[in-house]
Amino acid sequence: MSSLTAGEVVHVDPSALSTIDHIGILARVVLPGEVTGGNFAVVEQRGRLGFMTPRHLHTSESETFIVLEGALEGWCEGKSILVEAGQVLHLPANREHAFRVASDRAHHYIVVSPGGFEEFYPATGTVLDRSAFDEAPPLQGPVSPEKVDELAAWLAPRGASITGPPPFAP
């Protein structure tokens, strides 16, 4: 898709996309921001119970989760909400937030607005074989302090930060 420019009609076959293991969740960038003129990006994810992000804050990007299977728990500035298949969760920019997989397995899309932040996944994750997306997501343990430092270093120049450990019980 990198040869496409904003304003073109785009068809995406997700099975042709790279799969990334990103701190224990499988992700693939379905629609990069460069194709939407920077307006938004779409990332598809599959995860297992136990996956959770540290508390973090984006000064520019909002994240909207569209849950296809399973359940997610979103947390924003002290308030938690459970969203299940067919439901949507919006976490606005400039508000401390986190999310976790709240069911045995979950499958969802994240619409990130504006686009550009989707570069986070390949930059700080591990690229796997494309077929790995259809396999069972990895079992997730706590994100190591070294990995948190790596994520924080990537986030800082982009106006985002890790603000603390996950707000969820293990």
The length of the chain, given as a count of residues: 170
What count of other Cβ atoms lies within 10 Å of the Cβ of residue 31? 22
- SS in 3 state form for 18-45? CEEEECCEEEEEEECHHHHCCCCEEEEE
Q: pLDDT tens digits, the chain, 170 residues: what are they? A: 445 566 678 888 888 899 999 999 999 999 999 999 999 999 999 999 989 999 999 999 999 999 999 999 999 999 999 999 999 999 999 999 999 999 999 999 999 999 999 999 999 999 998 888 988 787 777 788 899 999 999 999 999 999 999 999 87
Of the options 2.60.120.10, 1.10.10.10, 2.40.110.10, 2.30.140.10, the CATH number for the domain spanning 30-133: 2.60.120.10
* Domain residue extents for the chain: 30-133
Confidence (pTM) = 0.92
